[in-house]
Amino acid sequence: MLRVLVTRPEPGASRTAHRLEETGFQPVLLPLTETKALPAAGLIPDDAVAVAVTSANAMRHAPEEIIATLAALPCLAVGKRTAQAAREAGFLSVSEGPGDAEALADSLAADFSGKTIVYLCGRVRFPAFEQRLGSAGVRVHAVETYDTLTVGYSDEVILERLSGRPADAILLYSAKAAVAMQTLARRPALRGLFDKTWVFALSTRIAAAFDDVASERIRIAAQPDEDALLALLQAPR
C-alpha cells in the first residue's frame, strides 16, 4: 500500500486523507501550513458590483459582517470547492469558474472593466489575479480574511508520523508548503525518508517552489484541482 504524505492544512487534510483511504492508499497527515482568521478591516466600497474569491479558505474565514454586507452581490468563485463554500456562507448568486485564478481573471476582465469588485483573499497570495484584472481596468478591492502560517515540526515528530519509514509520495497544494517541504527534505536526520519519494504538485508554480530537489520525481497535475492531483497517484511512473 502506497504511503502518501498529505501536507495541506486542515480541514482539507482530513478530507484528502479520507479520499486516499477510499482508493486504497495510506495517508500520513503532516500539514505544513495552517490558516488563521484575520479581523475585519476597512470599508467595502459603495460602488462594488461583484465579489471574487479564489480560495475556499478566504470564504470560510470571512467575518459574518463582511458576508452580510456582500451576500446580495454576485459571487464569482474560482472553482467547485470555493463555489460550495460561498453558497454555504450565504451568498445568493454564485458562479463557478474554470478552477484557475488567472483564467478566472481573464474571464472577468471584459465584463468588469471600469467597475469595482471585492476580492476576498488571504494575506499570502499569488499576485497574478489582481494584476491581470488591474491591467484590464478592473478596480480590485482586496479584503484579506485569513493568513497562512508555516507549521514547524521537530525531526522526532516527523519520524514518528512516518514510523521511521520512507514516504512513497507527497501531495503539495501551495508554494508555501512546497518551500517548507523542501526544507524538511534537506534535513540530515530526514534525508533518507524522501530520497525516492514522488512529489505531486497542484501547479507548475508550486512545483517550481519545491526547487530542483528530486526534480526527476516531480509530477504536476493536469489541472489545478484535487481530482487531477490524486489522479497522478494512479498514473504509471
Cell of 94: 454564485
Q: What is the pLDDT of residue 134?
A: 97
Within 10 angstroms of residue 72's Cβ, the number of other Cβ atoms is 12
- CA–CA distance, 226 with 42 (Å, rounded to integer): 34
Q: What is the pLDDT of residue 228?
A: 93
Percent of the chain with pLDDT over 70: 98
Q: Which stretches of the chain are assigned E, i.e. beta strand?
A: 3-6, 26-29, 33-37, 48-53, 75-77, 94-96, 116-122, 139-150, 169-172, 198-201, 218-220
- CA–CA distance, 40 with 62 (Å, rounded to integer): 8
- What does each of the 237 residues of the chain score in pLDDT, given as a tens digit? 899 999 999 989 999 999 999 999 999 999 999 999 998 777 899 999 999 999 999 999 999 999 999 999 999 999 998 999 999 999 999 999 988 899 999 999 989 999 999 999 999 998 999 999 999 999 999 999 999 999 999 999 999 999 989 999 999 999 999 999 999 999 999 988 998 999 999 999 899 999 765 578 899 999 888 999 999 998 766
Cell of 89: 456562507
Q: What is the pLDDT of residue 211?
A: 76
The bridge status of strand 139-150 relative to strand 33-37 is: antiparallel
Burial of 188 (0-12, 13-18, 19+ CB in 10 A): exposed
Domains of the chain in sequence order: 3-32+151-234 (3.40.50.10090), 36-149 (3.40.50.10090)
Closest listed residue to residue 225, CA positions, set 76, 77, 36, 105: 77
